Structures are given as structure tokens and as C-alpha cells.
Structure 1
Amino acid sequence: MEILLLLIYSGIVWLVFFKYKWLPWNTFTQAVSFIIPIVSISILILFLNIVAPSSHDVRVMNYNVEVVPAVTGLVTEVPVEPNQHVKKGDVLYRIDPEPFQLKVNNLQARIPMLEAKLISAKAYDKELEDQIEAASSNISMIDAQLDLAAKRLEQTRELALSGAGSKFDYEQAEANLKNLQAQRAAAQSEKSQYIQRISAVASDGELSEIAQARADLEQAKAELEEAKWKLEQTVYRAPADGRVVNLQLRPGAMAVQFPIKPVMTFIEDEQWVTALFEQNEIRYVEAGQEAEIALKTYPNRIIKCEVEHIVWANAQGQLTASGRLPDTQETGFEEGRFAVRLKLSEEEKGLFLAPGAVGQGAIYTDHGGPIHLVRKVIIRVGTKMDWLVLKLH
């Protein structure tokens, strides 16, 4: 664009000074003729970079998912090919489900046995409760007899001291009281034994029978849910619409659950189109403004876009957590750029953008509308140059 303006200006100078000779071609007019285009184009470019900032670093990026098996097993089927487009939920590979199904079957058969064991333990627990209740009733009955025996002992003692009763009766009452006291101690001991058996934790720290049965059942249920989940993971489905690249998996291979060894890479269709700008270029950039990009994969084509948002962060604004204080010593500092995310206009929605495609672009702010045309011409001239393949072999 600058060259075009210079050519037009040169034509005007030729007409004024040489063809029609409206003005003399002397030192003064020569100096003025050279200063005017330099100053004018410099001012134009300065304002253009503010009201219609451009970027020569436009990138197309996609989300990448490194596919790592959640379980380890023998691969039986890989129904996709490299670079094949798939829909969300399509099967990417299958692992032999037989070992995982056997685990599920084993746990499903084990759970009814543990449930029966728990029912038996609960019945035993109920029996112990009944025995405790019976022992408590027996102790209450013995306590009533003890009260009566104590009164009888006191009466026979008074009668024996006064001579109205026999000493034998007093000794017999005393023996009956001691006998009842022994019976109560035995009944209390029996009740304590029942209580110890029914308690959740025995004296040796091990769970009681009912608590152990309940714990075994809950553990088996948890293991069954885990086994079912692992069985589901033998079929890996596409997490979104996209393409499979870097496909290394084949039937007969062993898929290993190892985070740093993915079996394929999945490229989602969702894309980021970003343009990187210097920090003082985006002062007037706002969401919703018009933008244009020109990618090298589409020479001589202008792709209409719209500003979605500015990513107000870069790596230089990150302070890494560590035990050391930040180093404030001045070093070779280079100003970081900010990314502006763009979205394609409605008429460009169906256009395929290759992940990794690069190019140039510009944003047209709400200021300086008349000179936006200059930026549009520059972008269009630049994309025509993408037809050239500049290499010697």
C-alpha cells in the first residue's frame, strides 16, 4: 500500500513539476517534495497501527487429547484410521473385556453370600439381645428376692437376740441371703458376657461378627462398582467431534495404563484462532469488533472474523511458587505480547482451518474508520504474496 501511495504521489509530482511545470523544480521544492511523502506515510502508519492494529502472527490452534488407556489389556479392535473424522461417542478402540467381566461376575456371586452372612450375624445379634434382656429380667427378680431376704435376715436376727426366735432360723436366713447374692453376681457376669459379644469392638480390637460382615459386604460392593467401571473402560469413545492422529495402536497390541505413553492423539474440532499483538497496540480493541485474517493455507483469501476477547495474561505475569524470593535483578527483558481470540463470521463457519495454520490479520477498531481501507489493502496485497513458494528446490 505504501508503494502504491508513493507511485501516485510520484505521478502528481511529475505532472506538477515536469509535464505542466506549474511550479519550478528548485532546491526548496525538491526538499518539500521529498519530505511530504516521508512525513505523511509515517503519520499514516503510526495512526494505522493504533486504530487498525495488524499482526503477522495469527495461529490456528485446536485442543489436543492424548489418549491414555484407563485399564491395561489386550487390544481387540481399532475401528478408526489415521486422520479419520469421528463424532463424539464413536468407538476408537476396544480392549478384551473377558478378564474384567470375570471379575464382575465373581463379585456379583460373592455379594449374595456376604448378604446372607450379614443376615445370619444380625440374627445372632438379635439372639444376644434377647439373652441380655432375659438376663436383665433375671437380675431384677433376684434383686427383689434379695430385698426380701435382707428383711427376713433382720427380722430373724432381732427375734434371736430377744429369745423369741431360734438361732437356726437366723443362720438359715443369712445363708439364703448369701446364696441370692451369689446368684445375682452370676447373672450379672452372664449379662456382661452377652454385652461384650454384641459390642462393635471387642477387647482385642477386632470387629464383632455383625460389624465384620457389614464391612465385608460394603467392601465387596465398592469393588464391584470399580470392576464395572474398569469393564466400561475397555471401550474408549471419542470425547468430542474431531480427528485421530498419531495412531500407534493395532489389534493384538497391549494397551498399558501409563500416563506418559499415549496410544493416539485426538484433535478436537473446537478451535482457537488467535492473533498476537504488542501490548500498546490493543488499547482500542474490544469484543465484537470486525477483524480479518489471511492464512498461508488459503492464498489470496480474506477470512472474515470477529473479536471474541483479549487474553489479558502472558507468561511474564506468572510468579512461580517456590521457596526463593523473586529475582528483581534487571536482565535481558523482552516485552511479552497479548493474544486476541477471534471467531469466524457466520459466512465462514464451514471453512476448514488446519490446526497449526499461520498467517496475518488485522482488527478494525471503532476509531479512524476512513483509514481502515489502507489496512485492508495492505492485508489483501500481503495474502497475494502467499501464492509464491520461495525455495530453490
Structure 2
Amino acid sequence: MDLLLILTYTAICITIFKVFRIPLNKWSVPTAILGGVVLVGTLILLMNYNHPFTAIGGQVYTTTPVMPTVRGKVISVDVKPNQEVEAGTPLFHIDPTPFIAKVTQAKAALAEASQDVLELEATYKAAQSNTVQATADRDRTKREYERYNQGFKKGAFTEQQVDTRHQSYLAAEAALEASRASEQQAKLAYTAEIDGENTGVASLKAALDQAQFNLDETVVRAPTKGFVTHVALRPGMMAVPLPLAPVMTFVHTEEHHYIAAFRQNSLQRLKAGYEAEFVFRAVPGKVFEGKVIEVLPAIAEGQIQATGKLYGTEALQTTGRVMVKLKITDDMSDYHIPLGTNAEVAVFSDHFEHVSIMRKVLIRMESWKNFLYLDH
């Protein structure tokens, strides 16, 4: 662009010198050169600051590493690479045989526990009956002891007979206490609850839920709408729930944005809503319209983390760029642009708008330059 401006200014100067017959001397030529330096330099500086450009940009997208939550042998891979699927579509199946067995075992244990609850109820009711019977025996022996004791005072019974009845009464009292303890123990076993449910049953229901969850997880499904690329998983392989060993990478189908890194010099001319233009090396000769979504509020080079060492001067000597999030507003359906494609971006602020024509000319020149390359 600077060369274009210099050549244009030179042509204008030559025309002026010829039309107005200005003599070439030590005053006119240096004046024209100095004027050109000031004029061209001012225009370029105004353009660079108010309408920034960067060649460091590209599309970013989010992926999710796919890994199972249960361990098992893969029996089928249902997804095809690079074909879009809906959320919940099966991606691959793990052999469910051991997990079906776990569910069956948990159901059997739950049924047995439910039967045990009925037995605990019967035991509790039997203990209640025993307590009633022991209470009646205690009351009967007590009345008999009191009758013999009164008869002894009148001389009707001997001391031995009274003592025998007293011992029977004490034995009945002890039996009643034992029966009450057994009843309380049976009651605790029968009425022990968590959230209104018997503890044993609740525990086995939780085990059944876990077993059913593991069985359901043998079918690994798409988390959202998207596609899987580079499918290397095959039946017979072992799928292991390790975060460091995903078996697939899922690419989400969503609104994709572009990130461009601008010099910090132009930070005050980067704001949400400003118009932008994009140039792709993949689409030579074409410029796409867009706009700024936001300026990211942090520069990565300035981050620090808690460690066992102090940060020195070198931590501040890095010069990071400002990350700007943008999107293209033009229709891109006619162009094949894979995710992650690089782009060159220019942003047009609302300052010195008349100078923006220079940036627009320049970015179009950059676009046409993409036709020119050599393979080494």
C-alpha cells in the first residue's frame, strides 16, 4: 500500500510539474519529496492505527474427547467419520453381557431384600405378641404372689409357698423385660428407613440404579449435534474410561467464530460491533464481510499460576497480542472452508473513516496475492 501511495503521489507531482511548468531546482524537488513523506506517512499511520490489520487469525471450534464411563470390549462402531449426527445418536457399543448380569443380580438382591422386609414385619409382630403374653404372665404371677402373701399373713400359706410365688413373679418380670428388648430390636430392624424406605431396600435400590446406569453407558452416544472425524476405533478393541485415552474426538456443530491477534497499539480501536473484513488463503480474490463480537479481556502472556518459585523480570518481557472474537456475516455456503482455516482480518473503526478506503484497497490486494504461491 505504501508503494502504491508513493507511486500515486509521484505521478501527481510529475503531472503538476509538467502542467504548471514548475522548474526543477533545489527548492521545488526537495519540497515535493518532503511533502510526499509527510503526506504518505501520515496516511499510513492513520490507517494502521484507526483501521488495524492482522495476518494472525483463524477459525476456532470446540471438540469433546469421547471416552466411555465403563470398561469393556467394543462390539460395534455405529458412527461414520465426518457425517453429522443428532444429539443422542449411538457412536459405539460396548459388550453389555457383564453389565446385564450385574443388573439381574441387583434385581434379585432387591427382591430378596423386599421379602426380608416382610419377614422383619412378621418378626416384629411376633415380638409384640410375645410381649403381650409376657405381660399377661407377669400380671398373673404378680396377682398370685400378692394373694399368697396376704394368705401368709392370715396363716393360710407357708413362707415357702409365698417365696415360690415371689420367685415366679420375678422370673415373669425378667421374661417381660427380655420380651420388650426383643420387640424393640425387631422394631428397629423393621422400621429403619432412609427417605421413608427400609435401609436394606434403599441400599439395594441404589446398587440396582448404579448397575442400570452402567448398562446404559455401554451405548456411548453423541453429546450434541455434530460429527466425529478420524474414527480409528474398531470392534474388538478395549474401551477404557481414562481421560488421557479418549477413543474418539467429537466436533460440535454450532456457531463458529474467528479469533484474530492484533497488536496492542490498536487496542483503543477494537470494539464490539465494528465492521471487519476477512481474507482466506483458501479463497483467493474474495473478501468476506464480518463484525467484531468482543475483545477478549485477558492476554495469555501475562498469566501466572501459583507455584513454588518467584516470578522475575522475564515474566514481564513478553509482548502478547490482543485476542479479538469475530464472526462472518456473509453467506459462506458456496465455499468449502474446513474448520480451523486461517484468515487475515482487518477491522474498521469509526475514527477517520475516510482513511478506511486505503485499508480496503490493501486487504483486497492481499486477497489477490493469494493466487501467487510456489510449492517447494
TM-score (norm 2): 0.84
Q: 1:120 to 1:92 in 2, by over 3 A?
A: closer
Give the corresponding residue for 2:59: 60
Deviation track 1:191-246 (CA, whole Å, cap 9, x = no partner) reads 32343455449xxxxxxxx978526632541343233223323xx4474224x433
Tell me which of 173, 181, 205 is aligned to 1:218. 205
Tell me which of 182, 190, 199 is aligned to 2:171. 182
Tell me which of 214, 230, 233 is aligned to 1:227. 214
Deviation track 1:227-277 (CA, whole Å, cap 9, x = no partner) reads 3223323xx4474224x4333234454444443334443444442311111
Structure 2: gaps spanning 5 or more residues? 191-196
SS of the aligned residue for 1:85 comes to coil
Give, in whole Å, the separation in 1 of the partners of 2:184 and 2:326. Answer: 74
Do residues 10 (structure 1) and 10 (structure 2) align?
Answer: yes
SS of the aligned residue for 1:94 comes to strand
Do residues 261 (structure 1) and 250 (structure 2) align?
Answer: no
Give, in whole Å, the separation in 2 of the partners of 1:266 and 1:116. Answer: 41
Q: 1:45 to 1:226 in 2, by over 3 A?
A: same
Give, in whole Å, the separation in 1 of the partners of 2:223 and 2:182. Answer: 62
Give, in whole Å, the separation in 2 of the partners of 1:108 and 1:263. Answer: 26
- C-alpha displacement at 1:131, in angstroms? 3.0
Higher mean C-alpha displacement, 26-35 vs 346-355: 346-355
Asked if the contact 2:279/2:286 (under 8 Å) is kept, the reply is: yes
Give the corresponding residue for 1:86: 84
Asked if the contact 1:311/1:339 (under 8 Å) is kept, the reply is: yes
SS of the aligned residue for 1:273 comes to strand
Tell me which of 322, 334, 339 is aligned to 1:338. 322
Give the corresponding residue for 2:129: 134
Give, in whole Å, the separation in 2 of the partners of 1:110 and 1:330. Answer: 62
Give, in whole Å, the separation in 1 of the partners of 2:177 and 2:315. Answer: 85
Q: 1:232 to 1:265 in 2, by over 3 A?
A: closer
Please provide the CA RMSD for this pair: 3.2
Give the corresponding residue for 1:304: 289
Give, in whole Å, the separation in 1 of the partners of 2:94 and 2:223. Answer: 18
* Structure 1 residue identity aligned to 2:232: Q
SS of the aligned residue for 2:323 comes to strand
Do residues 275 (structure 1) and 288 (structure 2) align?
Answer: no
Asked if the contact 2:142/2:169 (under 8 Å) is kept, the reply is: no
TM-score (norm 1): 0.80
**For residues 44-193 of structure 1, what are the structure 2 equivalents within 5 Å?**
44-70=43-69, 71-77=71-77, 79-81=79-81, 84-89=82-87, 93-95=91-93, 97=95, 100-101=96-97, 103-104=99-100, 106-111=101-106, 113-142=108-137, 144-145=139-140, 148=143, 152=147, 155-156=150-151, 159=153, 165-166=154-155, 168-169=157-158, 171-193=160-182
Do residues 247 (structure 1) and 231 (structure 2) align?
Answer: yes
* Structure 2 residue identity aligned to 1:218: K
* Structure 1 residue identity aligned to 2:119: Y
Deviation track 1:350-378 (CA, whole Å, cap 9, x = no partner) reads 64432332232211112211111111011
Q: 1:168 to 1:87 in 2, by over 3 A?
A: closer
SS of the aligned residue for 1:34 comes to helix
Do residues 360 (structure 1) and 358 (structure 2) align?
Answer: no
Asked if the contact 2:226/2:250 (under 8 Å) is kept, the reply is: no
Asked if the contact 1:117/1:213 (under 8 Å) is kept, the reply is: no
Structure 1: gaps spanning 5 or more residues? 160-164, 202-209
Q: How many residues align?
A: 368
Do residues 195 (structure 1) and 184 (structure 2) align?
Answer: yes
Give, in whole Å, the separation in 1 of the partners of 2:88 and 2:168. Answer: 84
- C-alpha displacement at 1:133, in angstroms? 2.2
Tell me which of 361, 374, 388 is aligned to 2:358. 374
